Structure 1
């Protein structure tokens, strides 16, 4: 079968992936074999491709058709459309996925929409769930979201607004800011320094100089969830500033993968919300999968807002 594999070439020199012939997946007992119809490319995957692990192939967000059911009898039957979140190797014609990491798709959710859900949607859903555990609820809470231009920012905005939170988003793009306001953001600013707190919660994905500025805008006993490093710049914190800042503030690192249960239930929630018209995958570009190398370059250069989805002919 055909799949995209890392070239090991720096992006500044040439393409970081190439299409190649690889062996078809061998199913484990708890894995369904999926014929991939569409997959989403995440900016974080562009970072991994700079120094790819040995024998690793990219691809964590896919949608397609079950062509072989799991040998142990778990999961959907042959012929069922699904969205899946494999650990890797999804940029291919076929991928084997644990049945706990997929969810069936209704007819009214397309493969292209579904492929945009897993990584960004799971991150947003679990981020807000973690925040709600700290505050008790989100209704009426003031939330600051940095780095809001991407897929996670889109889903956080929709989900937080639906939960009754008052959300301030940080995005450098006026066009993107207008879209986030349509989705429910109460306030749009173009840099963290322009945000007026205090905020009960800060969802921080930029790192660098943004994190200390965001931390200073927390309310007493507020929570900062650090879930990304989009700036790729190290964070420097002055602990004297923290001592004179918000009283009893909490800083917590967040990983969407730090859960005890499989992904399938949360994927099913994202699919249900999409089917009901309560969640709207933001498709920044939809292209044939032959254009994957070009799309990766555009993601690195921040020329795509929202999700980048590739369709497999």
Structure 2
């Protein structure tokens, strides 16, 4: 079978290679991958891949071999999955606890755009105080996570202000019900909840717009610039603010995938997909993701039947 492997070349970070088909563990199903969605974080991992690491966490396709232990979906079931790695391939072995079936109304490209960003959004909003009636500030909002957080939070009754680099990157967020600004300095606080994913100077600026007793959840550092907090600035800022670190990871993922699929099927969640392309275009797509030339998600098709 074919698989994308890291090349360590900045301009062409991955290439197709012929490799052996994976052999599933007893609790894994073998999935014929029809579509996968790279994440921006993976573009950085590809730059310096750990020994033996193979990229790919967001996939959708067809079960061609059920798990030997009898768990999970049977042969012929359309599924979306979130393996720990190795998903950028024609076939992937996926733990059944991290798979969920797809209804006919959700196509493969939509499904592939759900896992990491969608699970992050769900778990992030569970970590933050209940969004109903809350004023929420979301930085770095124009990626996949930001679109899901915005739609879910607005749907739950929050008043969302989203920070994006440009008006174009904020267009869909406005349609989803957010107030869009292009600098944290323009965000009219104070905010009950701040969801911060940029790092660098944005974090202290966002913190200063949190209400006394509010919460800042720090879930990323997309700028790749470390953040510095000055204690004396904190003294002069809002009092008793809680700063909480967040990372989405932790299997099982199946229940959250099922929740996301249900929300899409009900028309309450809409994957924002900026690009769908053949996986022969993977290198260019990864570079564009890394350089923030993709709004929302990019999905790559392996040549299977994407419905």
Question: For this structure pair, what is the TM-score category when the shorter chain's length is used for normalisation?
Answer: over 0.9
Provide the alpha-carbon RMSD of the alignment.
0.9
Query: CA offsets per residue over residues 236-273 of structure 1, 9 Å max, x none?
Result: 1101111221111111110001x4x5100000000000
Give how far 1:178 is off: 2.4
Give how far 1:176 is off: 2.5
1:91 aligns with 2:88: yes
- Report what 1:213 is aligned to: 205
- Report what 1:7 is aligned to: 7
Give how far 1:139 is off: 1.1
Query: CA offsets per residue over residues 156-187 of structure 1, 9 Å max, x none?
Result: 010000000000000012123221111121x1
Q: Does the Cα contact within 8 Å between 1:205 and 1:230 map onto a contact in 2?
A: yes
- Report what 1:75 is aligned to: 72
**TM-score of the aligned structures, taking structure 2 as reference length:** 0.97
- Report what 1:295 is aligned to: 285
Gaps of at least 5 residues in structure 1 are none
Mapped partners of 1:18, 1:178: distance in 2: 33
Mapped partners of 2:209, 2:293: distance in 1: 30
> When the two structures are aligned, how many residues end up with a matched partner?
303
Give how far 1:8 is off: 2.3
1:225 aligns with 2:220: no
Mapped partners of 1:189, 1:253: distance in 2: 24
- Report what 1:35 is aligned to: 32
**TM-score of the aligned structures, taking structure 1 as reference length:** 0.95
1:112 aligns with 2:109: yes
Mapped partners of 2:226, 2:132: distance in 1: 33
Query: CA offsets per residue over residues 2-22 of structure 1, 9 Å max, x none?
Result: 00011123x1xx411110011
1:29-178 equivalence runs, <5 A: 29-131=26-128, 135=129, 137-178=130-171
Give how far 1:302 is off: 1.4
Q: Does the Cα contact within 8 Å between 1:295 and 1:308 map onto a contact in 2?
A: yes
Mapped partners of 1:177, 1:18: distance in 2: 32
SS in 1 for 2:169: helix
Give how far 1:106 is off: 0.1
Query: CA offsets per residue over residues 107-126 of structure 1, 9 Å max, x none?
Result: 00000000000010000111
Q: Does the Cα contact within 8 Å between 1:149 and 1:173 map onto a contact in 2?
A: no
Query: CA offsets per residue over residues 193-242 of structure 1, 9 Å max, x none?
Result: 11111101000000000000000011111111111111111111101111
